[in-house]
Amino acid sequence: MNQDFSIIQLVIGANWVVQIVVCILLFVSVQSWAAIFSKHFALKKVHTLNDEFERDFWSGKSLNELFASAVQNSKSAGPMERIFASGMREFQKLRERKISDSTQLMEGARRAMRASVQREMDSIESSLSLLASVGSVSPYVGLFGTVWGIMHAFTGLAQLQQVTLAKVAPGIAEALITTAIGLFAAIPAVLAYNRFARDIDRVSNKLETFIEEFSNILQRNVGSQGTPTNAN
């Protein structure tokens, strides 16, 4: 009646297969939380850098000035600024090749920005697959540990002539602990994945909108002056 049913004691007294399952679940839980914190701060930085560049873009600075700043700060620039730089770079390269057709100029700039968006989104979406895997697989891994533990417990009870609740409870509790740890690993991963997926969708929509707005500005400048000079 005085048996210790704390989680640590249950794990220590469990079958070795159950202990391995617990170790695996704890390991992926740590990895999941590390990915959650890393992605949280990364997305926060992305939002901050995009907002800063958007303010500069619509402040009335010339496109050439913005491009020079983007090239100079390429390592610390945000996704939107790098997309802008890729579009301007391709636009200027085509102009240097004496291409004056506005359609070719705009298609080249758009292709460069689309490719840049894809690279940026691939980077932003990193670690999401880990959270998705942890959220979907961990409960089943925990369930496997529970099933194995219960099988082991009943196998041991079969050798006893008299079975009481006091003898059954420890084995069942040791087995169920893996299900609890599996849910402990899965629930935060699922919640974080859904939250980050929504944030990333908003970032993607914002970048797509910027491409359209910037393309319109380039189109107006090309049609009126031949050389883009100002974001307004």
Q: How far apart are CA 44 and CA 104, in angstroms?
A: 36
CA 5 to chain centre: 38
86/214 Cα distance (integer angstroms)? 12
DSSP string, 185-223: HHHHHHHHHHHHHHHHHHHHHHHHHHHHHHHHHHHHHHH
The 10s digit of each residue's pLDDT in 6-31 is 666 666 666 778 888 888 999 999 99
Helix, strand, coil in percent for the chain, rounding step 5: 80, 0, 20
Q: Which residue, 206, 211, 212, 210, is CA-closest to 46? A: 206
CA-based R_g, the chain, Å: 28
Q: How far apart are CA 191 and CA 25, in angstroms?
A: 17
Side chain identity, residue 35: A
Residues 135-182: pLDDT tens digits?
999 999 988 888 887 877 777 666 655 655 556 666 677 778 888 899
- For the stretch 196-208, pLDDT in tens is 999 999 999 999 9
Structure tokens at 9: 């004691």
Q: Average of pLDDT values for 196-221?
A: 92
CA distance 119 to 123: 6
What is the model's pTM? 0.81
Cα(52)–Cα(230) distance, integer angstroms: 18
